[in-house]
Amino acid sequence: MMAAMTLRILVLGRGAWGRTLGGLWQAQGHELHSWGRKDGPLPVTDLVDTDLVVSAVAMAGVDDLASQLAPHWPSTLPLLSCSKGIDPATLTTASQLWARGLGLEARLAVLSGPNLATELEQGLPAASTLACADSDLCRWLQQHLSGETLRLYRHDDPLGCEAAGALKNVIAIGAGICDGLALGANAKASLLCRGLAEMALLVSGLGGQSATLYGLAGVGDLLATANSRLSRNYRFGLLLAEGLSAQQAQERIAATVEGKSTAAAALALGRQHGWHLPICDQVLALIEGRIEPRQAVRALMGRELKAERLT
């Protein structure tokens, strides 16, 4: 295997995920620069001397960043999108927002998988998916960004990886509610399995591959996010089960909970395409304060009996 070269990497976003990725790659010997909204104007002049831009901002900030950077973007500069969610305004993923802003010929890739930032910061091992339509770019990123504690696998389905990574946050909120109500292992296993069926609808509906669900960006990400208190979405669900309102739970967590906006965006897509997303529906009803946690459970258990299908 060819030795990795030193890259000049610009990380956009100084939240937990951006700091963690930057720290990992800096430890590997790469030259790291970062930008956060508190820093003021975007570092557009830095783009010329950069080998890779990594976007680790919340979904809410992607569209604006793409628009601001587009006039200054070098045509050969690759971007690695690490944001998870669906934009409520355009009902698109992060890489689709970047492609719309930078142009369809932009060199884009996606990073997704079971990525609890705290564990990676502690030096615990993890594996993730690098997804890109350009196989050469994907191999290049894999070669230079894989490290001792973060093993990266190549994939050719960026949209599928993003769709799975987005909706698993909604399912993780539901898992937190399930555990918070002490409903037991049977109930939680049932929730996660039916959650996979809803994830499958979104993945295939957005043009992704259904097989993507069975990898790190699908089941892998769901298992980590729906079972750990390190997950903001899971903790958010726990707090809802305790009787806190969505606003109170958000204030307690004091960080972005992407599953909140994703639930609404997924249901908007569902209305457009005729998809049935009952878990998303109940999670959103809870977030909006229209029902209580145990009412949501009763609504899911009392649905019409049907055959089991993944899609």
Q: Domain coordinates of the chain in residue numbers?
A: 8-156, 166-301
Rounded Cα distance between 282 and 80, Å, is: 33
The model's confidence at residue 3, banded by pLDDT at 50, 70 and 90, is very low
Residue 252's pLDDT is: 97
Residue 297's pLDDT is: 86
Residue 305's pLDDT is: 65
Q: What DSSP string describes 202-258?
A: HHHHTT--GGGGGSIIIIIHHHHHTT-TT-HHHHHHHHHHTT--HHHHHHHH-S--H
Residue 1's pLDDT is: 43
Say if domain 8-156 classifies as CATH 3.40.50.720. Answer: yes
Query: Is 168 one of the annotated active-site residues of the chain?
Result: yes
Candidates 87, 93, 118, 12; CA nearest to 57 is: 12
Residue 254's pLDDT is: 93
Candidates 24, 210, 204, 53; CA nearest to 128 is: 24
Candidates 258, 163, 158; CA nearest to 201 is: 163
Residue 4's pLDDT is: 60
Q: Residues 155-175: what's their mean pLDDT?
A: 97
Candidates 164, 302, 303, 182; CA nearest to 238 is: 182
Q: Residues 242-261: what's their mean pLDDT?
A: 95
Region 166-301: CATH code = 1.10.1040.10
Contact 120, 150 (CB under 8 A): yes
Q: Residues 81-90: what's their mean pLDDT?
A: 95
Residue 233's pLDDT is: 97
Residue 311's pLDDT is: 55
CA–CA–CA angle 199, 218, 235 (5° rounding): 80
Would you say the C-alpha torsion 190, 196, 201, 202 has a positive or negative sign? positive
pLDDT > 70: what percent of the chain? Answer: 97
The model's confidence at residue 248, banded by pLDDT at 50, 70 and 90, is very high
Rounded Cα distance between 31 and 50, Å, is: 9
How long is the chain? 311
The model's confidence at residue 2, banded by pLDDT at 50, 70 and 90, is very low
The model's confidence at residue 302, banded by pLDDT at 50, 70 and 90, is confident
Candidates 43, 59, 70; CA nearest to 262 is: 59
Cα distances (Å, whole numbers) of residue 205 to 34, 86, 162, 164, 198: 35, 13, 12, 11, 11
Cα distances (Å, whole numbers) of residue 310 to 112, 132, 196, 276: 22, 25, 7, 12
The model's confidence at residue 130, banded by pLDDT at 50, 70 and 90, is very high
Q: Is residue 310 pLDDT above 70, yes or no?
A: no
Catalytic residue, chosen from 168, 188, 260, 306, is 168
Token pair for residue 257? Answer: 């909970």
Rounded Cα distance between 50 and 42, Å, is: 14
C-beta atoms surrounding 103 within 10 Å = 11
Cα distances (Å, whole numbers) of residue 242 to 12, 181, 206, 295, 297: 35, 8, 35, 14, 14
Computed over every residue of the chain, the mean pLDDT equals: 93
